[in-house]
Structure 1
Amino acid sequence: MPALPSGIPVPDDGGLPAWARPAGPVATAQPFGVYVHVPFCTVRCGYCDFNTYTASELGGGANQAAYATTALREVTLARQVLADAGRTPAAVSTVFFGGGTPTMLPAEDLARVLTGIRDAWGLAEGVEVTTEANPDSVTPESLRVLADAGFTRVSFGMQSAVPHVLATLERTHDPLRIPDVVRWARDAGLDVSLDLIYGTPGESLDDWRTSVEAALATGVDHVSAYALVVEPGTKMAAQVRRGEVTLPDEDDQAAKYELADDLITAAGLRWYEVSNWSRPGHECRHNVGYWRGDDWWGVGPGAHSYVSAPAAVSAPASGETADGGTTDGGTADGGEPPAGVRWWNVKHPRAYATRLEAGHSPGAGRELLTREEAHLERVMLGVRLREGLDLGVLSAPGRTAVAGLVARGLLDGHAALGAGGVPPRALLTRRGRLLADAVVRDLTA
C-alpha cells in the first residue's frame, strides 16, 4: 500500500483553518458528500494497493465488530468541526461506502452508520446512497436490510466473467453468481452498477468481450470499466518484475476500451466519464461530485476529505498564481488565500480507532491547495466528463492549445466552437478519452 502524503499537522480537535470560515451566511446550496471507508477484505487481491486489511493482517486493537461504532465517532467529530467553522451543510447530497468490502460488515452495521450520518446533517431529498460489494458478500436478506435503511445503489466488483482472468486477479467469487446478485439487488429496490477491469495478464480480446456482454446481459443501468494499473509494492508488480506474468501493451488496452465503448453504447448506456457509462439518470452522483470539486468528508482509516474556501476567499484575481502552501495560516506561500484544504486520516484501523476513542481527530496530515493546484485539478477532472470543460476555465496558453487538440482529433471541434448555444468547451472525442492525460497536459500548458 502506498504511504500517506506528508503534510501540515492536523489540530488535535480536527479544526479547519480560520480562513475556511465564511465571512457571512453559509451558502447551504453547496453539495456535500460523505465517503465511508470500510477497510476489511477476506483476501488481498494481488493487484490491489487500497488501504485494506485481512483478518490476519489486523492484529489486536482493530475490532471489525466495533467498526461501526468507531466510524460514528468520526461522524460526531465531523459534525462539530464543520459547525465550528460555520460550514454545516443543509443536507448530505450523496453517501458512498467503499473499501475494502463494506458488505463484510453486517448490513445492520452499515445501516447504523447511515443513520448516524442522517442524524448529523440530514439527507437531501433524493439522496444517493451507494455501497460497494463483492458478489459473494451479499444475500437477498442483507440487500433488503440496506434498502430499508435508505441505501439506493449497490456497486458490485464483477471485474470479469472469465474464470482464468478472475484467478489471475485473485478474485474469489463465482462469475455465475453475478446475474443472481443483480436480481436480488433489483428485487430489493436498489440500482445496480457492475465494475469491470480490462488488461489483466493473459486476458484475450474475446475474454474481454465475454465479460462485457455478460455484464450487459444482466440489464444493469451502470457499468464502470477500468484499465488494470499495477501499482508498485503489490504482489502482481512483483510477479511482473520476475517475469511470471506479462502485462498487455497500450494497443491491447486501447482495443479493449473501444470494444467496451461499442458494446455498452449499443446496449443503450452512454459514457458520462471516461471510465463510466450509464442510462440517463443513473450516473454515480457521488463520484461526479468529486470530479466537479464538491466538498466531502471521508470517514475511516486512510480516508481523504476536502473543503473548498468560501467564494470570497478563493476567487482568483486575473493572472495570479501561487507557489504552494507550507503553513496553516490565512494565506499560501505566495501571499494568496488558499483555494481549499484537503486532509487524510491515519491508515491503520487500530491507530484510527485509538485516536477516536481518546477523543482526538484521526487526521494524519493536510494540505492547503493553491489556486494553481486547484485549477490543475479542475481541468484534470472536469475534462474527463461528457459535459466537457468550459474553455473560460483555461488559462490563455490552455485556450491556445485547443485548436491543436481539435486538429489531432482529441477534442470535439463543434463543442470547442460552442455549438447549440452552449459555451465553448473542451469535450473529449473517443480518441481523446484514450489519451486524456496527454490532453490535460496540453490544456494546462
Structure 2
Amino acid sequence: MGGMPSALPDGEPVPEDGALPGHALTGAAGRPLGFYLHVPYCATRCGYCDFNTYTATELRGSGGVLASRDNYAATLTEEVRLARKVLGDDPRRVRTVFVGGGTPTLLAAADLVRMLTAIREEFGLAEDAEITTEANPESVGPAYLQALREGGFNRISFGMQSARRHVLDVLDRTHTPGRPEACVAEARAAGFEHVNLDLIYGTPGESDEDWRASLDAAIGAGPDHISAYALIVEEGTQLARRIRRGEVPMTDDDVHADRYLIADEVLAAAGYRWYEVSNWAAGGRPEARCLHNELYWRGADWWGAGPGAHSHVGGVRWWNAKHPGAYAAALAQGRSPGAGRELLSEEDRRVERILLELRLREGCPLDLLRPAGAAAAARALADGLLQEAPYAEGSAVLTLRGRLLADAVVRDLVD
C-alpha cells in the first residue's frame, strides 16, 4: 500500500490561515490540480511499513475523540474547505483524486464518498477526472466496491504484494493468497474500468519461482495496471529488527536487480508496457496509467489532505501535522494543520524535474542539464544506460540496464 512517510522534514512555519505566497498561483490555470487524501488507519501494522499510519491500539489515549476514524471524514472535509479558501478564485477543476493510507477501506464506503463529494462541491471535478482509492483485499467486498463506484470512484488499487503465503507472512500481510485476484473480478463487476495490483519483490525468503508465481497471478487477474516495487527495509520497522536479530536474511541488491529483470520480461510478454521505472500499464495505453502519480512526477499542483500529507502548489511545498489528534485539533480551532513548508528555488525545481522525469518512459529533456550533467549524460549514452527518447525529441530515457542503476544515473545528471 502507498502512503505518506512517517518522518517530516524541517521547514518554515505555515501561516495559521494556510495562505500561500502570491506567486504560487501565478500561471495556475495552465497546471493540472490533484488531491491526495490520506487515511492514516490500519487494522495491523505490516512489518515493513514506515508510513504515517496508526492502529487502534497506537491511537488509544493519544488523541481522544479527535483521532477517531469514526469522525475522520468530517475532519478531512474541513481541510478541503480550507483548501478552497486558500486557493481563492482558482478556476481549476480537480483532475485527479487519490485516497491512500494506511488502509482507506477501513472507513465506510460512505465516508470515502463523503470526502470525494466535498472536493466535487468545493472545486468541481474535471469531466475525465481519475478518482482512485487504495484498498486492502480483506477490507472490501462486492457491496463495498459497488458503493464506491456509484459514489464516483473509477479506479482502485489493491495491495497484493505476493501470491505466496510464506512471503506474505514475512511482510506481516494478513490477506489470503488469491483474494487480491478475486478483488479484481469484483471490482470489474462493480464497474471499475481501471484496476491496479501492487507487488513487492525481494522479500527475505522469496525465490525467483515465488516471484514469477506472483507476476503470473497478478497478470491472470486482468488488471490494466501493475506496480512492482523493491522491498526497502526502513529503520525502526519490525522487519528491520527481525533482520538485525538474524531471524530473516537482509535483502540483496543483486536479487532486486534479477527480480526487476524478471518482472519486465514477464510483464512485457503479457502486453504490459513500463511508463515509469516501477509501473506498467496494459498495452501502454495512456488511460491505463496512474494519472495522479504523473502529477507528482511532472511537478504539477496537488493538495495533500490528512495527517502528515504533503502538498505542492506553484513551487511551495508544505506538510501537515503528523499525528491524527494534532491534525484534527488544528482544524477544530480554525487553523491550518500545516506543520512546515519550503519555497522551492528555480534550482530546486530543475533538480526535481531531472530526478523525477528521468524515471519516465518519455525521458528527461537534456536542456535541463548543466555542463557537468550533460557530460555525464553523454557518458551514460555511450555506456548504454541512456538512449535518445523515441517519444520526445531532445530527451533521454533510461535503457533497461539504466533502470537498474537509475539512482546512480540521476545523481550524475543533477551535477
Structure 1 match to 2:69: 64
- Which digits, 9 at most, give the CA deviation of each residue in 1:18-63, with x for residues without a partner? 33253xxx54231000000000000001110000000111122311
Are the aligned partners of 2:38 and 2:101 in contact in 1 as well (CA < 8 Å)?
Answer: yes
Structure 1 match to 2:204: 201
Whole-angstrom distance in 2 between the partners of 1:188 and 1:112: 19
Greater displacement, 243-252 / 43-52? 243-252
- Which digits, 9 at most, give the CA deviation of each residue in 1:223-280, with x for residues without a partner? 0000000111111111112222112321111110000100111111100000000021
Query: In the alignment, does 2:18 pair up with 1:14?
Result: yes
Structure 2 match to 1:54: 55
Name the amino acid aligned to 2:268.
Answer: T
Aligned-pair distance for 1:73? Answer: 0.3
- Which digits, 9 at most, give the CA deviation of each residue in 1:193-231, with x for residues without a partner? 000000101111111111111000111110000000011
Aligned-pair distance for 1:396? Answer: 2.3
Are the aligned partners of 1:388 and 1:428 in contact in 2 as well (CA < 8 Å)?
Answer: yes
Structure 1 match to 2:81: 76
Whole-angstrom distance in 2 between the partners of 1:288 and 1:167: 32
Whole-angstrom distance in 2 between the partners of 1:41 and 1:119: 28
Whole-angstrom distance in 2 between the partners of 1:426 and 1:363: 37
- Which digits, 9 at most, give the CA deviation of each residue in 1:264-301, with x for residues without a partner? 11111100000000021200000011000000000000
**Aligned 1:368-383 pairs, distance under 5 A:** 368-383=343-358
Query: In the alignment, does 2:307 pair up with 1:301?
Result: yes
State the secondary structure of the residue aligned to 1:28: helix
- Which digits, 9 at most, give the CA deviation of each residue in 1:374-412, with x for residues without a partner? 111110000000011111122222222222101211001
Are the aligned partners of 1:135 and 1:178 in contact in 2 as well (CA < 8 Å)?
Answer: yes
Are the aligned partners of 2:113 and 2:151 in contact in 1 as well (CA < 8 Å)?
Answer: yes
Are the aligned partners of 1:269 and 1:277 in contact in 2 as well (CA < 8 Å)?
Answer: yes
Name the amino acid aligned to 2:82.
Answer: L
- Off by >3 Å, runs of 4+ in structure 1: none
Structure 2 match to 1:432: 402
Whole-angstrom distance in 2 between the partners of 1:21 and 1:99: 28
TM-score normalized by structure 2? 0.95
1:354 counterpart (304, 324, 329): 329
Query: In the alignment, does 2:265 pair up with 1:262?
Result: yes
Are the aligned partners of 1:32 and 1:89 in contact in 2 as well (CA < 8 Å)?
Answer: no
Whole-angstrom distance in 1 between the partners of 2:107 and 2:397: 41
Whole-angstrom distance in 2 between the partners of 1:176 and 1:225: 18
For structure 1, which runs of at least 5 residues remain unmatched after alignment?
A: 309-339
**Aligned 1:145-164 pairs, distance under 5 A:** 145-164=147-166
Whole-angstrom distance in 2 between the partners of 1:303 and 1:272: 25
Are the aligned partners of 1:342 and 1:368 in contact in 2 as well (CA < 8 Å)?
Answer: yes
State the secondary structure of the residue aligned to 1:427: strand
Aligned-pair distance for 1:3? Answer: 2.8
Structure 2 match to 1:319: none
For structure 2, which runs of at least 5 residues remain unmatched after alignment?
A: none
Are the aligned partners of 1:198 and 1:227 in contact in 2 as well (CA < 8 Å)?
Answer: yes
Aligned-pair distance for 1:178? Answer: 2.1
Whole-angstrom distance in 2 between the partners of 1:425 and 1:28: 26
Name the amino acid aligned to 1:246.
Answer: P
Are the aligned partners of 1:30 and 1:89 in contact in 2 as well (CA < 8 Å)?
Answer: no
Are the aligned partners of 1:34 and 1:92 in contact in 2 as well (CA < 8 Å)?
Answer: yes
State the secondary structure of the residue aligned to 1:14: coil
**Aligned 1:16-415 pairs, distance under 5 A:** 16-22=20-26, 27-59=28-60, 60-61=64-65, 62-83=67-88, 88-190=90-192, 191-279=194-282, 280=285, 281-308=287-314, 340-412=315-387, 414-415=388-389
Name the amino acid aligned to 1:433.
Answer: R
Name the amino acid aligned to 1:390.
Answer: P
Whole-angstrom distance in 2 between the partners of 1:234 and 1:373: 31
State the secondary structure of the residue aligned to 1:175: coil
- Which digits, 9 at most, give the CA deviation of each residue in 1:306-351, with x for residues without a partner? 011xxxxxxxxxxxxxxxxxxxxxxxxxxxxxxx110000011111
Number of equivalent positions: 403
Compute the RMSD of aligned alpha carbons. Answer: 1.3
Structure 2 match to 1:324: none
TM-score normalized by structure 1? 0.89
- Please say which structure displays the higher CA radius of gyration: 1
Are the aligned partners of 1:132 and 1:154 in contact in 2 as well (CA < 8 Å)?
Answer: yes
Name the amino acid aligned to 2:212.
Answer: R
Whole-angstrom distance in 2 between the partners of 1:20 and 1:94: 20
